[in-house]
Amino acid sequence: MAFLEVKHIRKVYTGRLGSKETIALKNVNFSVNEGEFVSVMGESGSGKTTLLNLLSTLDKPTEGEITLAGTPLTAIKEKELSRFRREQLGFIFQDFNLLDNFSLKDNILLPLVLEQVPVKEMESRLKPLVERLGISQLINNYPYEVSGGQKQRAAVTRALITKPKLILADEPTGALDSKSSEVLMKLLADIHATKQTILMVTHSARAASYSNRVLFIRDGEVYHEIYRGDQTAEEFMNRISQALLFAFNRGEKNEI
């Protein structure tokens, strides 16, 4: 059994009056092995965000089942969900979601504080991580005092500090310039190299090229996937771009 299993997921949103139904995900199937770095690509409205919300337990599928390391997510009780998110998942958001009233350090420590980890252990976990992410000089600053790239690196640190089983990244480079994006993606690749499982949703072929597999999603279905294998990031990016172009053309044809 794979590390993360997504089986026959269907998600339907019902309008307020119950008359109008929107199918966000039709039938999604895929699995992720431990230590994989998987990107999910698709256009706006393809169901990426819905998928991510289901994976992060913020929402429940209408049909189908998701299991993480053998635990079916639907079996987790409502009360346990926050705890589960805190312990098993790490989140990286497009808009960072750092809190202005905390210094970067406190932002990073937030999940550990909620977990009631002793102060000593917090410090010992914090130190190597901030050094690895190159923000050790900045941790006493506040979010509004640092750049977007630095903010996102702090957010990555926050995601890593709980040693989560799975990191879910939602367009992590979406609000960053190309230079910061590159730095961030290299960091994510490094993190992946330590056997960390990462699932990233992105628009950017360049960002996706750092992962070792790309899933393409469209109209609520995974319609294509490609593996990086031994290719360099550059070669992989070209393949991703071609795949996207192909999909784009095919889509146009289908609609005609």
Partner 1 sequence: MKFNLALKLAIQNMKANKQIYIPFVISATLTVSMFYMIVSLVTNGFVNEQGGSAISLFGLGALVVAVFSFIFILYANSFLMKRRKKEIGLFNILGLEKKHIAKVIAIETITTFVMSLVAGLIVGAVLGQLVFYGIDYVLIVKQDFVFSLNVLPMLFTGVLFAGIFLTVYLFNVFNIQFSNPIELLKGGQSGEKEPKSSPILFILGLISMGMGYYLSLTITNPTQAVVLFALAVGLVMLGTYLLFNAGTIIVLKALKRRKRFYYKPGPFISISGMLYRMKQHATGLANICLLSAMVLITISTTTALYVSAENIVSLAVPEENILSISNVEYLSTSTFEETKVEPILKTVREKTEKSSLEMSDLRSYSRMTLYDNQIINDEMIYRYSGKIVEGEENERVNIRLIPLQDYNKLTGESLTLNYGEIFIGDQTNLISGDTFTIEGVRYQTEVLEKMPDYLKSASPSTKQLVVIVPDMNTLLSIQRTVNDYNENFSEFVSKEISWSTNGSQEEEIAYAEQMSEVFQNKGLDSPFYQNREQFRVGYYDITGGFLFLGIYLGFLFIIGTVLITYFKQVSEGYEDRVRIQAMQKVGLDKKMTRKATRSQVVWMFLLPLVVAIIHTMIAYPILFQMLSFISIVSHPTLMTTFGVVILAFTIIYGVVYQITSKIYLKIVE
Task: Tell me which of 113, 124, 134, 242 binds partner 1, using CB under 8 A.
Answer: 113
Q: Which residues contact 252 (CB under 8 A, 6 or more apart)?
A: none
Give the CA distances from residue 231 to residues 194, 198, 205, in Å, rounded to whole numbers and listed in that order. Answer: 20, 19, 15
Helix axes 148-160, 104-114, angle to 10 degrees: 20
Contact flag: residue 93 with partner 1 (CB under 8 A)? yes
State yes or no: residue 3 binds partner 1 (CB under 8 A): no
Binding of residue 101 to partner 1 (CB under 8 A) = yes
223: left (phi over 0), alpha (psi -120 to 50) or beta: alpha
Q: Residue 176 gets which letter from DSSP?
A: S
| Residue 72 CB coordination number (10 Å) | 12
Residues 94, 171 contacting (CB under 8 angstroms): yes
Of 101 and 254, CB closest to partner 1: 101
For 104, list phi and psi in degrees, rounded to 5: -55, -40
Options 110, 226, 233, 247; binder of partner 1; rule CB under 8 A? 110
In whole angstroms, what is the distance from residue 190 CA to residue 80 CA? Answer: 31
Partnered with residue 170 across adjacent β-strands are 201
Using CB under 8 A, which of 8, 14, 21, 119 touches partner 1?
119
Shortest reach from residue 42's CB to partner 1, in Å: 22
What are the phi and psi torsion angles at 222 (to 5°)? -80, 115
**In this structure, are residues 215 and 30 in contact, taking their beta carbons and an 8 Å threshold?**
yes
Q: Is 77 in the site for partner 1 (CB under 8 A)?
A: no
Site for partner 1 in 139-198 (CB under 8 A): 142-144, 158
Residues in 7-36 at the binding interface with partner 1, rule: CB under 8 A: none
| Nearest to partner 1 of 156, 243 (CB atom) | 156
Binding-site size, partner 1 (CB under 8 A): 30
Where do runs of H (alpha helix) occur along 31-147? 48-55, 78-88, 104-114, 119-132
Nearer to partner 1, 102 or 223 (CB): 102
Shortest distance, CB of residue 234 to partner 1, whole angstroms?
A: 34
In this chain, which stretch among 24-32, 63-71, 91-99, 222-230 interacts with partner 1, using CB under 8 A?
Answer: 91-99
Q: Does 71 bind partner 1 (CB under 8 A)?
A: no
Among residue numbers 194 through 253, which ones bind partner 1 (CB under 8 A)? Answer: none
Residues of this chain that bind partner 1 (CB under 8 A): 58, 79, 81-83, 85-87, 91, 93, 97-102, 106, 109-114, 116, 119, 122, 142-144, 158
